[in-house]
Structure 1
């Protein structure tokens, strides 16, 4: 299962970052990449670094399993679990690309405090506020089930912590400042990562 996991992970990177940034550049003249926020050591910076770690360990998980450096954890090493992981990974990749496309010219990786983009509320953004992060999380879970070794679990944990920090400390304050009452209303109606969960009061 490790070769398939590696193939899907590479496809995820090429579609979710490579093709998307190229498409964004063709539409707007910008790749959409804004880098890591905050000064070194800050919470914002930590979120960005953890995200990089999650991406690197995510690809290291199938590579090291293929090389025989690590093996799958016994309790999770079952064909039906690997098959479920494959389905989640494929679905997560498709959902990531779909949600990215729905953002249109507002798609970004990172936040530039000087920028002001449109508040996207259509498509999957009408159901959850961060569908791209949700979809990427599904990919991370899927890969961890396909190659259930310690490195994959570290990648999943790093991703979950990074996204929580990025959304709560970086993106939500930025969107609240830029969009004000419109964003406050949006957060009161739509869940953060899953429908109806994480709405503001």
Structure 2
């Protein structure tokens, strides 16, 4: 956020108070709760002696988790920088930002969320217990709700046809996967 402010004069953080029970509220709490469970409660449960999921209790899985978590953090940072002045936490319906479709955004529409999901998948693999699995599922559900029910409708409203064309050719989290179909009128 400090780098964002230095580069653009704006932190990118939008204070929002979603209406309790709204999709945005559930998305927010799924994301926050899932992240805390995966990143904090699961390692604490591991330290307290909670048994790992047997199939995942392997040094290679732990090593893969470390690599995935570190790569995810680096990719999150890089994708945030690539968004430039358009990067935001939260959606302000009154604000219009540029539609970023170049760089990593030419391959996936949500590289920041994809990288964050990779980070938390890595953390879950490092302590592969039931707590980590539950936390990751909550996080994933929160991210999916935020993207599908909050951010995509906002971007469609703000950018119209340009966003529709973009979603038709670029995948949501993985290149080519989650593209939107265009309907002919």
Using structure 1 for the length normalisation, give the TM-score. Answer: 0.84
Picking from 57, 63, 77, the partner of 2:44 is: 63
| Aligned-partner SS, 1:72 | coil
Contact 2:39 2:123 in 1 (8 A): no
Q: How many residue pairs are counted as aligned between the two chains?
A: 180
Structure 1: gaps spanning 5 or more residues: 1-20
Q: Which residue in the other structure is 1:49 paired with?
A: 29
**Distance in 2 (alpha carbons) for counterparts of 1:27 and 1:90:** 24
1:48-86 Cα shifts (integer Å, max 9, x gaps):
1111102211222213322x1523222211111111111
**Distance in 1 (alpha carbons) for counterparts of 2:170 and 2:17:** 25
Match status 1:85 vs 2:55: no
**Distance in 1 (alpha carbons) for counterparts of 2:38 and 2:15:** 19
Q: Which residue in the other structure is 1:3 paired with?
A: none
Give, in angstroms, the shift of residue 26 of structure 1: 2.1
Structure 2: gaps spanning 5 or more residues: none
Match status 1:98 vs 2:101: no
Q: Which residue in the other structure is 1:137 paired with?
A: 117
Contact 1:73 1:148 in 2 (8 A): yes
**Distance in 1 (alpha carbons) for counterparts of 2:141 and 2:39:** 18
**Distance in 2 (alpha carbons) for counterparts of 1:148 and 1:36:** 34
Q: Which residue in the other structure is 1:168 paired with?
A: 148
Contact 2:155 2:163 in 1 (8 A): yes
- Root mean square deviation, CA, Å: 1.4
**Distance in 1 (alpha carbons) for counterparts of 2:15 and 2:133:** 25
Q: Decide which structure has greater helix share.
A: 1
Using structure 2 for the length normalisation, give the TM-score. Answer: 0.91
